[in-house]
Structures are given as C-alpha cells and as structure tokens.
Amino acid sequence: MKLETKHFKLLLFLIFTSAPISQASELLEICPNPYGSDDAEYVKLFVNTPCTLTDGEGAIKINKSGIVFAAKNSSAFYDEFGIKADYEFPKRFALSNNGESVFLIENNSVVDEFYYSKASEGLVYFKRNGSWTFKYQDWSDFDTVKDFVKGRIIITPCSYNFRCNEDALIASYTFTNMELLKNLNNVEIFVDATPTGGVPVEEMEISRICKVSFLKANSYKNFHYKFGLCGNKVVITTENWVWHNRGYIVEFESEKVARFLKNVLYHDKKYESSPGKVSKLSFAKNGYANGKEFDFEGYIEVFIIPDRNPILEIMSSSNQRLYIQTPYINFGFYNKTPILDSIKKSAKNAEVKVLLDSRYNKEENTKTAEFLNRIAKIYGLNIEARLVNPNHFDSLHGKMVISDDKVVITSANFNMYGFKLNREIGVVIYNKEVSDFLAEQFLEDFGYEKKMDYTSLFPFIALMVIALFIVVKALRRF
C-alpha cells in the first residue's frame, strides 16, 4: 500500500528528527612522504562507526572510534611526530610518493576519499572547513590574534622613523635602510636569504653593524613578511622599510600581538642560514615628506600566512564595496582560481574596483585589467580594473583590501606564493572610519575626483542673497 505524499514526508521528518545527529567518519590528514624516512607516513581519520581504510590494494579494519592514526611503522611514526599510532599499515597498503587514492568505507559504501598526485617531501594534505588543502611538516600553526588597540595608519610615501629605546626586532623581505638604524639601540633583523635578484649589498653591510638573521627553508618559498617590534609597540607594513612607494604602515600598541609575533620569529629562527648570492646596490630611496596619517582605535586581527589567511573570505563577503590595491594579480592557484572567484562573488552585490601598478609588470597588469573588465561586461558584474597613474610616488607596492567596513593591510602579493607558500603577515582592521579614510585615498589613486557637496554651500548662498537684498534695498533709498 502506497503512503500519501504528506504522510511519507511526515514519516521522513520523524525518522530524521528522532535519530541522533552524529558526525560521519572522514579522512582528516594524509602524509605520504615525511621528512627522513617513509616509515613515518600516516593517515589521520575520524571514526564514528567501524570502517575500513584502503588504498585499493591493502585494507585496515578500524574498530576504534574518535581520532585514529594509522602509520606505516608505529615506532618511526612516534619518533618523528611524538604520537602513538593506533594501527599499522598491512604489507599491501602503502602511500606512494607518486600519487595515490585513499578510501574510507562504511557498510560497504565509500564515505570519504582523497586522491593526491606526486607528493614532495614533508607535504601533509589535511582537511580544513570541509575542504582539502596542504601544509608542510615544519610549518607552524599559529592562530590569528585579536585585540582592541589604539594606533595610526600612515600612507606612504612618507619619512617614517621607527624609534626604539629597547631591544627591537625587524622582519623584512630585504632591508637596506641604513639610516633607520640610527634610531635603534639594539636590533635584530630577519630577512630572506635568497630574495629575487639576490641579497642587496647594503644588507651585507648592515650585517656587520647589527645582528641579521638570513632565513631560508625548503618548505617556504620566501620569507616575505614585514613588521617591527619594540616592547609592546607593533609596526606592520606593506613596505621593505623604505617609504618611497605607495604603501601603508599600521602602528599600534598590543602586548598580545607583540608576544605572538615574537613567537613567530623565534620559531622561524630555526631556518637561519648563510646569505645567498649577493647582487648589487639597491639604491632604494628613503622617503619623502610625511604622508597622510589617521589615528584610530578599534578591533584588529593579526595573521601569519600560510598558517591562517582570511583574505579570500573577507573579499568574498563584500556587500557594498570591495577595493583591491596590489602591484599585480596572478589568478592561477594550482588547479583553481580562488582570487578571481572571490572577486566575482562579491561583484554580484558590491562595487568592485581593482588597482594595479603601472611601472612594473605593466604589460601583464594591462592584460589583467582588460580581462577583469571583459569579465564584468560578459557577466554583467560591477567590476572596474585599471592601472594606477603614479602621482608623487614611484610605484604601487602596497597590498590592501577594503571590504565594506573592514580593511586588510598585508605583505602578501596576490598570487599563489603570497597566499600560500610564502611567510607573510597581515592585519585586519574592523573600523568604518579607517575604511573610509583609506577608501578616499584609494579612489584618489584610482583617478576619481572627489565631488563637491554643494548642499554644504546652501546656508552661505542664502546669507549672500539676503545680504545682497538688503544692500539693494538700502541703495534705492538714496
């Protein structure tokens, strides 16, 4: 006998609402090619009911529940990671360095699966927010740090000086500003050991004056972050501590953020190495007259890439405005285009403007702007992209996102390296006044002239008319 539709729906409702809600078993991490020995390779999974882990050849029957680790060799796994394995791989089960499919089976059905291609040494695939991504074994896992602060925003070019009477720490991709050292009593500088074009000569000379840690790692493409610490004073910038380009400096006091960034540098100090090939003098200019400044107070959130990167999420969530300022954009990101996808998603609701540099990468930036404008026309999206017309600065170097009433200032370039493979820093400022201040500068750089608000002149015009009327009436009496 057939159930009527409404009765069938009611039955389904009762079944699903009365049944306990539980998390399904799933794969969480896969490390096919650990540093050192392949004997330490492993799979991490969450198990809710008895299941089978298989690569299509060998199989492991999993009867435990909760977080479970299966490793090729339990002793090697413990020696490498300090974790006890729950299961060992059988002989026919192996994670090939050249690519493999891994399946999780419950009740004769595949409930989760993952395929990876050739895995470089130390690569760990893991699931975050339901999606697969990757990290390296030696990468840190610093979460973001939030605080309520008082500070200021400085728009470069400027003549900014970083003064510190305490021990100071400075991180930069390259560091050539010898003049800045006059304001520092004791400083340690962290720079990339193999920057594009080579180590500047000035940097080698600075290493004879103060402590310079040259950083190099196989798992990070470059150490590209730019920040400074003096006690609880924090400076986060888009610039390599020279101030002649269009860029941004965020300065504030925060014990929490200062402690966090010190820990990052202490972690990264293990990558200290000899400097790479020395190139030539950088001849970087030191700056111009003071740039625009804006004092603010409010909530900020500091993040370190690749540990955390909220930029794409912030870009995707724009409802009114999304302004992006960056020297260049490369949309390619492995087999995806997340930067482009975020722009298109926001453009369905928000006004999107993208500003690129016109001095360096001009040919590619022209193509990028034309592509975005063509996308806007094809899909009917509110996107406008163009190259900056430099005015009182050498080039556009600052990386900034304005999303509604939030601002992101970051060292990260908009490409796969900046968003995933480099060591980068960023700060999110949750403040409408800051957003409006920087949006005004952005629109000026974009080529939008500020429109005069004639309504503010109405009282003045009314007074002038009244005065003129009185004068004319008085003259008629004579």
3-state SS track over 395-451? CECCEEEEECCEEEEECCCECHHHHHHCEEEEEEEECHHHHHHHHHHHHHHHCCCCC
Q: Based on the domain organization, do 110 and 217 belong to the same domain? A: no
Instruction: Indicate the pLDDT class of residue 21, thresholds 50, 70 and 90.
Output: very low
Supply the CATH number for residue 164's domain.
3.30.870.10
- Note whether residue 280 is domain-resident: no
What is the mean pLDDT of the segment spanning 204-220? Answer: 96
Supply the CATH number for residue 29's domain.
2.60.40
Mean pLDDT (the chain) is: 90
- Note whether residue 469 is domain-resident: no
CA of 123: how far to CAs of 31, 34, 103, 143, 308, in Å? 6, 7, 19, 20, 17
Instruction: Indicate the pLDDT class of residue 280, thresholds 50, 70 and 90.
Output: confident
Q: What is the reported pLDDT for 393?
A: 87
What is the mean pLDDT of the segment spanning 71-89? Answer: 96
What is the mean pLDDT of the segment spanning 228-236? Answer: 98
CA neighbours closer than 13 Å in the CB half-sphere of residue 246: 25
**Rounded to an integer, what distance in angstroms lies between the CA atom of residue 336 and that of residue 332?**
7
Instruction: Indicate the pLDDT class of residue 205, thresholds 50, 70 and 90.
Output: very high
Q: Based on the domain organization, do 326 and 361 belong to the same domain? A: yes
417 pLDDT more than 80: yes
What is the mean pLDDT of the segment spanning 442-471? Answer: 62
Query: How buried is 134 (Cβ within 10 angstroms: 0-12 exposed, 13-18 middle, 19+ buried)?
Result: middle
What is the mean pLDDT of the segment spanning 210-215? Answer: 97
287 pLDDT more than 50: yes
Q: Based on the domain organization, do 225 and 179 belong to the same domain? A: yes
Please count the structural domains in the chain.
3
331 pLDDT more than 70: yes
- Note whether residue 12 is domain-resident: no
Residue 144 tokens, joined:
């973001």
399 pLDDT more than 60: yes
- Note whether residue 426 is domain-resident: yes
**Rounded to an integer, what distance in angstroms lies between the CA atom of residue 306 and that of residue 235?**
20
255 pLDDT more than 80: yes
Q: Based on the domain organization, do 51 and 97 belong to the same domain? A: yes
372 pLDDT more than 80: yes
- Note whether residue 297 is domain-resident: no
Q: Based on the domain organization, do 334 and 437 belong to the same domain? A: yes
Q: What is the reported pLDDT for 469?
A: 57
Q: Based on the domain organization, do 130 and 153 belong to the same domain? A: no
Q: Based on the domain organization, do 196 and 93 belong to the same domain? A: no
Q: What is the DSSP string of 210-275?
A: SEEEEE--SS-S-B---EEEETTEEEEESSSS--SSBEEEEEEE-HHHHHHHHHHHHHHGGGEE--
- Note whether residue 11 is domain-resident: no
Q: What is the reported pLDDT for 234?
A: 98
Q: Based on the domain organization, do 247 and 358 belong to the same domain? A: no
Residue 318 tokens, joined:
């724009």
Q: What is the reported pLDDT for 456?
A: 45
Cβ–Cβ < 8 Å for 454, 324: no
Q: What is the reported pLDDT for 477?
A: 56
Q: Which amino acid is at 69?
A: F
Q: Based on the domain organization, do 385 and 329 belong to the same domain? A: yes
**Rounded to an integer, what distance in angstroms lies between the CA atom of residue 291 and that of residue 158?**
4
Instruction: Indicate the pLDDT class of residue 6, thresholds 50, 70 and 90.
Output: very low
Of 273, 291, 317, the domain-final residue:
273
- Note whether residue 19 is domain-resident: no
Residue 210: which domain range?
Answer: 145-273
Instruction: Indicate the pLDDT class of residue 335, thresholds 50, 70 and 90.
Output: confident
Q: What distance lies between CA 25 and its chain's CA centroid?
A: 31
Instruction: Give 78's contacts (C-beta < 8 A, 6+ positions apart).
Output: 84, 85
Angle at 43 between CA 75 and CA 96, to 5 degrees: 90
457 pLDDT more than 80: no
Of 255, 273, 291, the domain-final residue:
273
* Residues listed for the chain: 478
- Note whether residue 255 is domain-resident: yes
476 pLDDT more than 80: no
> Tokens 């996102």 sit at which residue?
401
Q: What percent of the chain has pLDDT over 90?
A: 80
The 3-state DSSP composition of the chain as helix, strand, coil percent (nearest 5) reads 30, 35, 40
**Rounded to an integer, what distance in angstroms lies between the CA atom of residue 173 and that of residue 199?**
10
Of 347-356, 373-382, 461-470, give the lowest mean pLDDT range: 461-470
474 pLDDT more than 60: no
Q: Based on the domain organization, do 382 and 401 belong to the same domain? A: yes
Q: What is the reported pLDDT for 289?
A: 64
Q: What is the reported pLDDT for 203?
A: 95
81 pLDDT more than 80: yes
Q: What is the reported pLDDT for 16?
A: 45
Q: What is the reported pLDDT for 8?
A: 47
Q: Based on the domain organization, do 358 and 326 belong to the same domain? A: yes
Q: Based on the domain organization, do 324 and 225 belong to the same domain? A: no
Q: What distance lies between CA 12 and its chain's CA centroid?
A: 44
Q: What is the reported pLDDT for 185?
A: 86
Of 26-30, 190-194, 431-435, 463-467, give the lowest mean pLDDT range: 463-467
157 pLDDT more than 80: yes
Beta bridge partners of 71: 42, 88
